Every structure is written in structure tokens, then in C-alpha cells.
Amino acid sequence: MEALFAALEASAFAATMRSSLFLYPLANVVHILAALAFFAAVAAMDVKLLLAASFGGARAFIARVRPLASIALLVQAGSSFLLFAPEATHIWHNPVFRVKLVLVAVALANVLLLEALVRHRGDETARMGSARGSAAASLGLWLAIAAAGRLIAYF
Amino acid sequence: MRIVVAFFALAVAVPAAAHHGWGSYDADTPMTLEGPIETLKLENPHGEMTVEHDGADWLITLAPLSRMNTRGATADVVRVGEPVVAYGYPKRDSPGKSAPSGSR
């Protein structure tokens, strides 16, 4: 793992990020904007689920907002790679970064759970409670991930 | 003599990779280091240079490239061999520990 990140750090791409006047700040800005767009979309879907009386009311809304969340997440992943590569081995050893990775894994697992709950057609009453719990967890997890991301620089 | 005065964070040169993080620098005891630049890396997210001080090599962390440029600390000005006055915060160390030897 260490060797992989060392190789990434030694790549021409990483060198470009380190020496470019505007690419590095641009990647930072894109990372923040994508985080905002992603959280806005996810929060809209989560709040809709928390307030909806039934799945039916929420499904159509979620279907329309979900693509924005997906695109923002892809942009987020891309910009994170641009920020990670130039000092890969250094960031990899940062404890807060590792916490962030774990949180992202949990948050993505929660997304899969929530999607399964929303898409399943059948008796809703029992699953509505779980879906609300998952939606609330989603809000908390993504906020914690944003906090961890900011805190990387302070540890 | 060209003098470059800037706000840098200072770190005592250590062989192991230290954690990043502003909390690990002591803002209550700022330092001023003077001398020619020995080694230099201008890059993102942070460049670094070494200056000799009190018989030890001090590793000085620099700002990102764009900030260095907007503050006038361009590659033309900040060069190996240039005399520099660096003001910044030392890395917190355990009490009584002197600056480690070993140049970079």
C-alpha cells in the first residue's frame, strides 16, 4: 500500500500538481463546491424522507434529485485524487484522514441501505422507521466527513 | 543584500515524517532565523527550505506557490544561496530537547 502511494507521489501527474500555480488551488475549490452540491442534494432527499408520510411521496422527488448527488460525488472523488496524489504518503499517515476514509465507507454503506429501503415495493410501515433512521444517519455522517476533511490540515 | 521577510512556520529538521498541523507549532514563542537558503523546494501544498541557525539546520515550511507569488516571494527572489530573514513559529518539542543534528 505504502509503495503504491509512493509511486503515485512520484508520478509526473503529482509533480504537475505540486508545481502548478493554479491547479492545486483549483482542485481545492472544486472539492469544496462539489461537497456543497453533494450535501445539498443528499440533504434534500434525507429531509424529504424524514418529513414524508409515506415512501410514495418521497420516491419521485428522490429520483429527480439523485442524479445531482451522483454527479457531485464523482466530481468529489476526482478532486480528492488531485489533492491526494501530490503528498500521498504524507496524507495516508494522517490519522484524521483515515477516520475520514472509514466514515466515507460507512456513509456509502448507509446509502446502499437507504436505496434498498426506498426502492423495495411492499409493506412500508415497518421500513419507514428504518428509512428515517438511515436518512438521519446520512445527514450526520456526511457532515462528520466534511469536518474530518477540514481537520486533516490540523493534525 | 536582498532580504526576504515572511511569515513561515518553522520546524526542527527531523528524519521521520512529522504530522502536518498548525497546532504543533508554538505561536507563543516566535523565532527569527537569518542566513542563506541552503536547500529549497517551491511547491504545493507547502514548499520548504532549510536555513542554518545555532549550528543546526532548520526546516522552514513555506506557503503554497500562488500565495508565495502574490506576496512577492517568487522563484526569482527565493533562491538557494539568497540571504533570508525568516520569521515564524517553532515546532513544539519536548522540553530540554535541543535541535537535532543532521542536515538535509
- pLDDT tens track of chain A, all 155 residues? 889 999 999 999 999 999 999 999 999 999 999 999 999 999 999 999 999 988 887 999 999 999 999 999 999 999 999 999 999 999 999 999 999 999 999 999 999 999 999 988 777 887 889 999 999 999 999 999 999 999 998 88
Domain for residue B78, yes or no? yes
3-class SS of residue B14: coil
Q: Look up residue B9 and give its three cell numbers.
A: 512556520
- Residue B56 domain boundaries: 5-89
pLDDT at B22: 63
Q: Between A125-151 and A23-51, two packed helices, what is the crossing angle to 10 degrees? A: 160
pLDDT at B102: 23
Q: Confidence class of residue B30 from pLDDT cuts 50, 70 and 90?
A: confident
| Chain B residues close to A82, C-beta within 8 Å | none
Cβ contact A17–B44 (<8 Å): yes
Q: Determine contact, residues A36/A73, Cβ cutoff 8 Å.
A: no
| Chain B residues close to A17, C-beta within 8 Å | 44
Query: How many C-beta atoms surround the C-beta of residue B26 within 10 A?
Result: 14
* Alpha carbons A36 and A38: distance in angstroms, whole number: 5
| Mean pLDDT along residues B28-46 | 92
* Alpha carbons B77 and B92: distance in angstroms, whole number: 29
Is the alpha carbon torsion for B87, B89, B90, B96 positive or negative? Answer: positive
3-class SS of residue B56: strand
Cis peptide bond prior to B30, omega within 30° of 0:
no
Which residue in A24, A90, A94 is closest to B64 by CB distance?
A: A24
Q: Say what the ipTM of the complex is.
A: 0.76
3-class SS of residue A18: helix
Return the percentage of chain B with pLDDT > 70, whole number: 66
Which residue in B20, B23, B66 is closest to A22 by CB distance?
A: B66
Which residue in A21, A90, A93 is closest to B66 by CB distance?
A: A21
pLDDT at A126: 79
| Mean pLDDT along residues B15-41 | 76
Cβ contact B23–A20 (<8 Å): no
Tens of pLDDT, residue by residue over B79-100, are 999 999 888 888 886 433 323 2
Domain for residue B103, yes or no? no
The enclosing domain of B48 has a CATH number of: 2.40.50
Residues 22-81 in B contacting A (C-alpha not used; CB under 8 Å): 22-23, 43-45, 64-66, 69
User: Nearest C-alpha of chain A: how many angstroms from B65?
Assistant: 6
Q: ∠ at Cα A154 (A152, A155), nearest 5°?
A: 75
* Alpha carbons A19 and B90: distance in angstroms, whole number: 26
Is the alpha carbon torsion for A95, A99, A101, A102 positive or negative? Answer: positive
Q: Does B102 touch chain A (CB under 8 A)?
A: no
Total domains, chain B: 1
Mean model confidence pLDDT for chain B: 73
**Residue (of B60, B63, B88, B79) closest to A24 by Cα position:** B63
Helix, strand and coil in chain B, % to nearest 5? 10, 40, 55
Q: Determine contact, residues A148/A103, Cβ cutoff 8 Å.
A: yes
Cβ contact A154–B23 (<8 Å): yes
* Alpha carbons A74 and A38: distance in angstroms, whole number: 10
Number of CB pairs, chain A paired with chain B, less than 8 A apart: 42
| Chain A residues close to B22, C-beta within 8 Å | 153-154
